[in-house]
Amino acid sequence: MNNHGFHFPVTNRETHSGGQDLTEKQLMTVAQTLGQEWEQMAIHLGLETKDLENIKAGQTVAMRKHNMLVQWMRLNTGKATAQHLLSSLVDLQDLPSKTRPLLKDWINGTLPQPDRKANA
């Protein structure tokens, strides 16, 4: 378990998410750090109100957060990296205290990555 409260198995295929698109598994990890500010985060990430309405339809809050990040990833294919996500949120003052360090650790390669085969 790391200092962010998440456990990741160490793999032989560690990659830095500063330059590679995040996986859905990584997006779920980010989603787990979010609280009530996730809708504000969606706006900072460029999602529109209609996107939020679709995301909120008939899902648990945990899946709403995850699906919001997946929608962001789809809008940013090829540049949906930890670095891009973090820079997109620079103006969000309510970003949870665990989210920013988690993304920075992935960018710096100091936190083991979830197995990238999960999305393959």
What's the confidence (pLDDT) of residue 50? Answer: 93
Q: What is the pLDDT of residues 71-96, one digit of tens each?
A: 999 999 999 999 999 999 988 888 99
Kindly tell me if the per-residue pLDDT of 120 is higher than 60: no
Kindly tell me if the per-residue pLDDT of 118 is higher than 50: no
Q: What six digits make up the tokens of 68?
A: 């919001």
- Please tell me which residue, 5 or 63, carries the higher pLDDT value: 63
Contact between 37 and 94 under an 8 Å Cβ cutoff? The reply is yes
Domains and CATH numbers, the chain: 24-107 (1.10.533.10)
What's the confidence (pLDDT) of residue 7? Answer: 40
Tell whether pTM > 0.75. Answer: yes
Q: What is the pLDDT of residues 32-70, one digit of tens each?
A: 999 999 999 999 999 999 999 999 887 899 999 999 999
Q: What six digits make up the tokens of 65?
A: 């957060």
Reported in sequence order, the residue ranges of 47-118 that DSSP labels E, i.e. its strands, are none
What's the confidence (pLDDT) of residue 115? Answer: 53
